[in-house]
Amino acid sequence: MFCVNIGPCSRKTNQSTSPVSVSFVNCGNVDCFAFIKSFAGVLSYLNQLLNKPTEFIGLCGLKTLQVLDLSDNELEGNLPWCWANLTSLKYIDLSHNQFTGDIALSPLVNLTSLEDLLLSNNSFQIPISFRPFFNHSRLKGIECLQNYYLLERDEFQASVPTFQLDYIILSDAGRHGNNNAAVPKFLYHQHSLRSIYLCDISFSGKSFLWLIENNTELVTLVLRDNSFTGPLQMPSNRNSKLTELDISSNNFSGNIPEDIGTSFPGLTTLTMSANSFTGTIPSSLGDMASLEYLDLSSNLLSGNIPNSLAMGCRSLSTLRLSNNNLQGSILPARHNLNQLTYLELDVNKFTTIPNSLSSCSKLEALKINHNHLEGPFPTAICQLKSLEYLDISENNIAGILPACFSPPYMRYAKLSKNRLQGPLPHGFFNWTSLQILDLSHNQLTGPIPKWFDNLSSLSILLLNKNHFDGEILSQFCNLSELSLIDLSDNSLSGSIPPCLGNITFRPLLGNLGLPRSGISPVGVDLPRVEELIESVTKSITLVYRGNTISAIDLSCNNFIGHIPPEIGKLFHLKSLNLSHNSLSGTIPITFANLTGTESLDLSYNRLTGNIPSQLARLDSLQVFNVSFNNLSGPIPEGPHFQTFDAMSYIGNQLLCGKPVTRNCTDTKSVPVTPRTRTETEFMDMDTFYVSFTTAYITMLLAVLAILCINPYWRQAWFHLVDVSLSFCYYFVVDNLP
């Protein structure tokens, strides 16, 4: 006997040629005569495949074929009926193709020798009862992820199948297309299952215990993304063989059973996220000495993290408790979580970070954002030398950043929306692996340090909403990997460095911050570009598409001088915001090269001249604002500029054409007067108060000096005061009743 493995093939039916590989794999004792006899069929198959790849006529002659693997190709269409001749076939893998059709009407129902049926990632229509395969007595495994399942009436599920499966793996490509579907009844007759994976099918019910109790050898039970309801129930007998239990994204409610740890002591993975569990975390979880992955996130749990969990789960590497109502310390003062690698406790009510966190020497990811943490920056974090991903944003951390905070492998640091003060510590100098730095919405001061150019891997830099001052140094131009920089709402001054135009600002794609191993555990939300978009777009105008982003935001500062024409070379840039500064000169014609830009904001500056007509070819532009400048001349004609709202041009008296009201053919001349800040903006009240007080004191001192020097004027002044007081007195007496 022999096996045929065909793949990968990138050929569609409407193409003429295709690279195809066929390999013969030794499957045991080979019958040489059968091999030679069937080789003619393989040659015939190849000939047919190069002309009609979806019919596989030549394959139909391989009656002794036992293993057929056509996975990971782009084959399409229905399965040919002549495959019913492959009566010796034991293993068939058609996964990751584009096959279609109803499985009940396919040749597979006649292949009763099948032991393993792999149909994942196609567009098959599969009866949820699997009744067409009830006579396949040798069937041991079914893997049908991402196909379409057909509901059937109860009478079609009444028969008992002849097979006893080892594993069943199902998920629906329709994403909950079968609302409240009943669990297939044939599973009630299975007693040898070791792996059960039923996801995304909206199976309903109030219990799944029968799956565990009927299958005593069960190792893996995954029921993610279904519609199971009610309180969670535990089996009557202790089950030590089950190692993975995943019931996430269902509708379970009530307390997590207190005896869950004693019922499943052998679990290595427990996932119960996205339900409605209430109460506290059961202390019996500490009995799971082999537990490596625990996810109870997105529930309604309250209370503290149990001491028993921290002491008993010595093997725990991933702990996810996000989106609950937990409080107290993020870890007990004493714990044995020395293997912890990922700790996610965001969106809770934790208040303290204990010094015991420093003993988690293997910790790579720490998410404790959106809690109630207070006090100075935790020095325990300084001891986490393996840390790559830190999110401590949206807390009340105050004071300066300590110099000891310099993990050598840091890739993602988000410390925004706290009360951090003072200058940036020199310890950041060593963060050569850093990709994302978010220090926005704090009270940091001082100039931006010169050593920033040492952050050679930096892609996203968010320093907005602080009190930084000084100039942007040319060292920034050495950050060749930069994709997004936001320095808005600071007190930066000077001119914009022309060398910024030498950075490519390529759109940032995909995920960032993966661990050094390159492998992340299932369900761990390591930093993604999408995660940053929400926080970034609150401070810059950005039209976001897909998972790409590149932007410069220098708005709300004190920049002066001309806009560097070199910025026009950044044709990858998605958003450019230079508003609310004191920039002068004209809009560079080179901005016509910003063909990928979707948002351009130059408002509230001192720009003069025309809007370059070349900007009309910026087809991607969806947001444009040049309001409150001194621009003049016609607004460019094009598919975008005359369709923008008139507010995009307000404050420029000499602009004409649509959408403003001034007609470009109007012959009336309007004198050009340079716009000053007081003509279009509010008066600077601080300056007014200082000027008024100074003038008042100066005048008062001058009057007193004159009166002291000249006695005649002094006498006349006091006489005038005396006469005035007397007049006022008698006026009041004569006129009041």
The pairing of beta strand 244-246 with beta strand 269-271: parallel
Residues whose CB falls within 8 Å of the CB of residue 305, separated by 6 or more in sequence, listed in order = 281, 321, 326, 328, 329, 330, 331, 332
* Mean predicted confidence (pLDDT) in 501-529: 52
Three-state DSSP state, 142: strand
d(CA 210, CA 188): 8
247 contacts 273 by C-beta, under 8 angstroms: no
pLDDT class of 616 with cuts at 50, 70, 90: confident
Count, residues in the chain: 737
d(CA 79, CA 100): 8
Has residue 522 got a pLDDT over 70? Answer: no
Clarify whether residues 709 and 610 are in a common domain: no
**Beta-bridge partner residues of 277:** 254
Chain mean pLDDT for the chain: 82
Q: Examine residue 364 and state whether it is found in any structural domain, yes or no.
A: no
The tally of domains found in the chain comes to: 3
pLDDT, residue 642, reads 75
Backbone CA torsion sign across 409, 511, 321, 340:
negative
Alpha carbons within 13 A on the beta-carbon side of 186: 22
Backbone CA torsion sign across 116, 122, 124, 130:
positive
Q: Examine residue 618 and state whether it is found in any structural domain, yes or no.
A: yes
pLDDT tens digit sequence for 388-413: 999 999 999 999 998 888 888 899 99
pLDDT class of 516 with cuts at 50, 70, 90: very low
How many helices (H) does the chain have, and how many strands (E)?
A: 8, 45
Structure letter (DSSP) for residue 181: B
Highest mean pLDDT among 290-294, 527-531, 535-539, 715-719: 290-294
Give me the amino acid identity at 69.
Answer: D
Clarify whether residues 673 and 557 are in a common domain: yes
* Mean predicted confidence (pLDDT) in 602-611: 95
Has residue 135 got a pLDDT over 50? Answer: yes
pLDDT, residue 21, reads 38
- What values do phi and psi take at 486, rounded to 5? -130, 110
pLDDT class of 730 with cuts at 50, 70, 90: low
pLDDT, residue 377, reads 93
pLDDT, residue 380, reads 92
Clarify whether residues 670 and 702 are in a common domain: no
DSSP codes of every residue in 360-376: -TT--EEE--SS--EEE
The pairing of beta strand 76-77 with beta strand 396-400: unpaired
pLDDT, residue 414, reads 94
* Mean predicted confidence (pLDDT) in 471-488: 88
Has residue 270 got a pLDDT over 90? Answer: yes
Clarify whether residues 674 and 701 are in a common domain: no
pLDDT, residue 509, reads 54
Clarify whether residues 676 and 707 are in a common domain: no
Q: At what angle do helices 711-735 and 685-709 cross, to 10 degrees?
A: 110
Three-state DSSP state, 156: helix
d(CA 275, CA 273): 6
pLDDT, residue 11, reads 36
pLDDT, residue 643, reads 80
Clarify whether residues 589 and 691 are in a common domain: no
Question: Which of residues 87, 121, 149 is at a domain's end?
Answer: 87
Q: Rounded to the nearest 5 degrees, what angle is found at the Cα of 247, between the Cα atoms of 243 and 253?
A: 130
Q: 581 is written with which tokens?
A: 């500064």
Clarify whether residues 731 and 673 are in a common domain: no
Integer CA distances (angstroms), 304 to 282, 323, 349, 500, 548, in order = 10, 14, 10, 49, 39
d(CA 64, CA 733): 130
pLDDT, residue 3, reads 59
Q: Which residue has the higher pLDDT, 117 or 477?
A: 117
pLDDT, residue 158, reads 62
pLDDT class of 336 with cuts at 50, 70, 90: very high
Neighbours of 685 (CB within 10 A): 8
d(CA 591, CA 615): 7
Comparing CA positions, the residue from 9, 6, 10, 12 lying closest to residue 25 is 6
**Beta-bridge partner residues of 485:** 461, 552
pLDDT, residue 42, reads 45
pLDDT, residue 56, reads 56
pLDDT class of 6 with cuts at 50, 70, 90: low
Clarify whether residues 476 and 613 are in a common domain: yes
Q: Examine residue 493 and state whether it is found in any structural domain, yes or no.
A: yes
Return the minimum-mean-pLDDT range out of 227-236, 616-625, 699-708.
Answer: 699-708
* Mean predicted confidence (pLDDT) in 199-222: 90
pLDDT class of 553 with cuts at 50, 70, 90: very high
pLDDT, residue 29, reads 39
Return the minimum-mean-pLDDT range out of 64-68, 287-291, 525-529, 722-726.
Answer: 525-529
Clarify whether residues 618 and 477 are in a common domain: yes
Has residue 551 got a pLDDT over 70? Answer: yes
pLDDT tens digit sequence for 159-186: 789 999 999 999 988 755 556 678 888 9
* Mean predicted confidence (pLDDT) in 588-607: 93
Helix (H) or strand (E) holding 171: strand 167-172
Comparing CA positions, the residue from 361, 358, 370 lying closest to residue 326 is 370
Return the minimum-mean-pLDDT range out of 462-471, 583-592, 688-697.
Answer: 688-697
* Mean predicted confidence (pLDDT) in 561-573: 93
Q: 637 is written with which tokens?
A: 């004609």
pLDDT, residue 600, reads 93
d(CA 517, CA 341): 12
- The answer to whether the peptide bond before residue 659 is cis (omega within 30 degrees of 0) is yes
Q: 223 is written with which tokens?
A: 């029921």
pLDDT tens digit sequence for 433-463: 899 999 999 999 999 888 888 888 899 999 9
DSSP codes of every residue in 508-550: P-SB----TTS---TT----BHHHHHHHHTTTS----BTTB--
297 contacts 277 by C-beta, under 8 angstroms: no
531: CATH: 3.80.10.10
Q: Examine residue 207 and state whether it is found in any structural domain, yes or no.
A: no
pLDDT, residue 208, reads 87
Clarify whether residues 566 and 704 are in a common domain: no
d(CA 122, CA 76): 9
Has residue 17 got a pLDDT over 60? Answer: no
d(CA 147, CA 94): 12
114 contacts 92 by C-beta, under 8 angstroms: yes
pLDDT, residue 508, reads 66
The pairing of beta strand 244-246 with beta strand 220-222: parallel
Highest mean pLDDT among 35-49, 561-575, 654-668: 561-575
Highest mean pLDDT among 125-129, 158-162, 251-255, 705-709: 251-255
Q: 467 is written with which tokens?
A: 């009190």
pLDDT tens digit sequence for 31-74: 433 433 344 344 444 444 434 444 455 678 888 899 999 999 98
Q: Examine residue 429 and state whether it is found in any structural domain, yes or no.
A: no
Has residue 20 got a pLDDT over 50? Answer: no
Question: Which of residues 56, 87, 118 is at a domain's end?
Answer: 87
Q: Examine residue 706 and state whether it is found in any structural domain, yes or no.
A: yes
Comparing CA positions, the residue from 589, 489, 505, 511 lying closest to residue 552 is 505
* Mean predicted confidence (pLDDT) in 284-305: 96
pLDDT, residue 666, reads 63
Clarify whether residues 486 and 510 are in a common domain: yes
* Mean predicted confidence (pLDDT) in 460-477: 90
Q: Examine residue 676 and state whether it is found in any structural domain, yes or no.
A: yes
Has residue 647 got a pLDDT over 70? Answer: yes
Alpha carbons within 13 A on the beta-carbon side of 610: 14
d(CA 249, CA 3): 40
d(CA 351, CA 396): 10
pLDDT, residue 705, reads 79
d(CA 674, CA 82): 85
- How would you class 99 by CB atoms within 10 Å of its CB: exposed for 0-12, middle for 13-18, buried for 19 or more? buried
234 contacts 257 by C-beta, under 8 angstroms: yes
Q: Examine residue 521 and state whether it is found in any structural domain, yes or no.
A: yes
- pLDDT exceeding 70 applies to what percent of the chain? 80
188 contacts 210 by C-beta, under 8 angstroms: yes
pLDDT, residue 690, reads 77
pLDDT tens digit sequence for 354-400: 999 999 999 999 999 999 999 999 999 999 999 999 999 999 999 99
Comparing CA positions, the residue from 305, 293, 316, 320 lying closest to residue 352 is 305
What domain range includes position 602?
470-630+663-680
d(CA 164, CA 191): 7
Clarify whether residues 708 and 569 are in a common domain: no
Q: 122 is written with which tokens?
A: 């196609």
Structure letter (DSSP) for residue 433: T
pLDDT tens digit sequence for 486-513: 999 999 999 999 999 888 887 765 444 4
DSSP E strand stretches across 174-263: 195-199, 204-205, 220-222, 227-231, 244-246, 251-255
pLDDT, residue 5, reads 59
**Beta-bridge partner residues of 116:** 91, 141
